Amino acid sequence: MRMQRLFLIGPMGAGKTTLGRLIAQDLGYEFIDSDRVIEKRTGVTIPTIFDIEGEEGFRERESRIIDELTRKNQIVLATGGGAILRPENRQWLRERGFVVYLKVSIRQQLERTSRDKSRPLLQTPDPAATLTELAKLRTPLYEETAHFSINTNHSRTRTLKNKIISAFQEAETA
């Protein structure tokens, strides 16, 4: 396989950015967060893009970025939680690198995202209900896209990082 591309998918609060940075550091790869790239290029935050262009406009931008970033070598890419909604994104991720699905419980997501105002989909009266609905829709898509899945609820970050790197290196040499 030897693509030297590791892509992290999963819902918000699963640990994609935290683990991605650590994995990239260990591998000597560049860490990229697709949401941060979108914000940097547009000069505005994700919530602002949602306000102005709606989710559809944001997803269009996200697809262009995913297509571009999944072609780079020696990267660890953390995608936004909804990146797997579009079939082309799922295909690019799956075909161009090693995809790791970070699983997390709704309770843990709420705990990790409760103070974060930069998540437009959670600015609702009932974030738990929103996360439950998102999980119903997205979980099968995460599972279909991933080469490897790991639960991030209670394991230590270092343990998770090591398991992911092991699975990635195994796939790269297969």
The pLDDT value recorded for residue 114 is: 76
The pLDDT value recorded for residue 174 is: 82
99, pLDDT greater than 90: yes
Q: Let me know the angle formed at the C-alpha of 110 by 104 and 115, rounded to the nearest 5 degrees.
A: 130
The pLDDT value recorded for residue 76 is: 98
The pLDDT value recorded for residue 113 is: 82
Q: Where are the domains of the chain?
A: 5-173
Residues 6+ apart with CB under 8 A from 74: 4, 5, 27, 28, 29, 30
84, pLDDT greater than 70: yes
Write the pLDDT tens digit of every residue in 133-173: 999 999 999 999 999 999 999 889 999 999 999 999 999 88
Token pair belonging to 136? 């119903």
Top mean pLDDT of 31-35, 50-54, 121-125 is at 31-35
CATH class of 5-173: alpha beta
